[in-house]
Amino acid sequence: MSFEDSHFETKAVHVGSAPDPATGAVIPPIYQTSTFAQESPGRNRGYEYARTRNPSRTALEECMAALEGVASGGPGGALCFSSGMAATSTVLQTLSPGDHVVLSLDVYGGTHRVIAKVFAQWGLDYTAVDMTAVDAVKQALRERTRMVWVETPTNPLLGIVDIAAVAELAHSVGALCVVDNTFATPYLQQPIELGADAVVHSTTKYLGGHSDVVGGALVTCSEDLHERAKFLQNAVGAVPGPFDCWLTLRGLKTLPLRMHAHCHNALRVASFLEGRDDVAEVRYPGLSSHPGHELAARQMLGFGGMVSFRPSGGLDAAQRIVESTRVFTLAESLGGIESLIELPGVMTHASVAGTEAEVLPDLVRLSVGIEHADDLIADLERALGA
C-alpha cells in the first residue's frame, strides 16, 4: 500500500514498516548481517554488502524521505549515516576546492568546526553571517558560492531564518540551499516544501528521540546531489548499523506525539523564565517577544522544544543553575524524552571559542523533555534560587 497521500502521523508509523513477508511480523526484523548470498556472481536480490545497502537502512531511508516530503520514485531521496556530522561532511564533500559556502553565524559548533578546520584546509571558502537578516545573506553571496547552509531555529540562540527567502537568494546565484532541520524536525518544519534543495538531520536527537542511538540523515529533492552523496556514502563508508537504523525508525513512529509534548512544555518553561527578575534574557520562538516569532509561526507547525536563557547573575549564576537541577540532567545533546541542561560555551560549542561564532559564556541551553511541565518549572525555580 502507498502512503503518499497520507497524513504525517500515518507515514511515520507505516512507511518503511510493512509486515515482514517471510513471517508476517508486524515490526520489520533487524537485518544484522554484513553480507548477502548471491544467486550467481553479480546476481543478487538487491543487496550484496551492508556498507552499500542493508534492508534496515533502506526502511529508514524510505521513511525519512516520505516525512521530508520527497516522493517515492521521484528525483532525490534520503540517505542515512552513522552520525549527523557524517551526513554534514558528506554534503560538503560534494563541493570542490575554491567553492564558497555561506554559513549561519549561529550554528552547531561541530558544523562550524568541520568547515573551518577541515574543509577550509582543503580549499573550501566560507563566510559566516547572521542569517536572520536576509540582506546579510545577499551581501555574502559570491560568484563561487555553491551552497548556503541554514540552521533554523539556530543553535543555540534560537534565531529564525526565512527559508523561502534564503533559498531564493541561493538559487539566484546557482547555489544549493541546505537546511539543518534537527531542531525543528520534519513534523514542525518542511524546508524542501519552502524551497530548500536538501535537509540534514542529526537523527540522534528528536528523530531517534530516546538518547540511545547516534545517527544522521540527508534528504534531498535534487537527483544530482542524491547520486553524488550516495556514491560518497558507499565509497567513504560512514553508514549506520542495522540496529541503529531500527532504533531510529522506531523513534520516528512516535515523533508527532513527542513533539507536541516538547512544544507544550517548552512554552510553559519559557513563559515561566520570562516572568522572573533573576533572568536577563529568554530566547524561545514561541514567545511573542522573540524577534522571529511571526516568521516562525508562518513556517513552522510549532515552536520546538529548545529554550535558551541568560540569568541576571552572569556566568557564576549560570554555573550554579546547571549544577543544581534535579529533573534536568547536565549533559550535552538534545531532543530526547528527558530534559537536559548545559552551558553551550564550554560544552556543545566549545570548539567555536575565539571565533566569530563564539557563544556567550553565561548562556544556558535547555532541551525540554516530555516530563510534566510543573515538575520542570519547579526544578528550575529551585535551581534559580539555589
Active site residues: 51, 108, 180, 205
Among 284, 216, 280, 221, which residue's Cα sits nearest to residue 248? 216
Tally Cβ neighbours within 10 Å of residue 319: 17
d(CA 72, CA 204): 24
To which residue does cell 515490526 refer? 27
Q: How far is 239 from 217, CA to CA, in rounded Å?
A: 10
DSSP states along 298-324: HH-SS--SEEEEEETTHHHHHHHHHHH
- On the 0-12 / 13-18 / 19+ scale of CB atoms within 10 A, 135 is exposed
Residue 270 CB partners (closer than 8 Å, separation 6+): 282, 284, 286, 287, 307, 309
Q: Pick from 343, 349, 321, 314: which is nearest to 331 by CA? A: 343
d(CA 269, CA 118): 38
Residue-level length of the chain = 386
The answer to whether 151 touches 126, Cβ cutoff 8 Å, is no
